[in-house]
């Protein structure tokens, strides 16, 4: 439930126009629970991260310790497709291979 508290804190900070603390809270929520899609959606939808920061966040999430092995690739794929700032063609090719499976 710590992720829920971080998500709520992030929403409060965002309402107060404190984007830096909102980003920290949403990121903490995702690191505590990689299934906290709402935190991910808020970060992406509100353009709170640069393309590089989005990539770093995706790379830093603890998928392997929080997801069953057969869901890791799928969840990474779902998150990577939501990123609006796709910065390299390899990501798209990798995603296409996942879809083909």
Task: Say whether pLDDT at 85 is over 70.
Answer: no
Q: Which residues contact 76 (CB under 8 A, 6 or more apart)?
A: 58, 63
Tell me the whole-structure pTM to 2 decimals. Answer: 0.81
pLDDT digits (tens, 9 = 90+) for 37-80: 999 999 998 999 988 899 899 999 999 999 999 899 999 988 98
Go through the chain and tell me how many residues it has.
101
Q: Which of 10-24, 47-61, 81-95 has the weakest average pLDDT? A: 81-95
Alpha-carbon torsion 35, 81, 52, 55, what sign? positive
Q: Which of 75, 69, 82 is nearest to 98 (CA)?
A: 75
Q: Are 7 and 26 in contact (CB under 8 A)?
A: yes
Calpha distance 72→77 (Å, rounded): 9
């Amino acid at each position: 439930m710590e992720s829920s508290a971080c998500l709520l804190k992030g929403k409060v900070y965002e309402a107060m126009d404190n984007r830096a603390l909102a980003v920290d809270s949403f990121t903490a929520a995702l690191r505590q629970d990689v299934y906290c899609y709402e935190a991910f959606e808020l970060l992406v939808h509100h353009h709170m991260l640069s393309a590089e920061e989005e990539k770093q966040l995706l790379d830093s999430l603890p998928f392997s310790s929080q997801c069953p092995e057969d869901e890791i690739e799928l969840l990474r794929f779902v998150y990577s497709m939501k990123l609006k700032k796709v910065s390299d063609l390899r990501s798209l090719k990798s995603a296409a291979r996942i879809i083909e499976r």
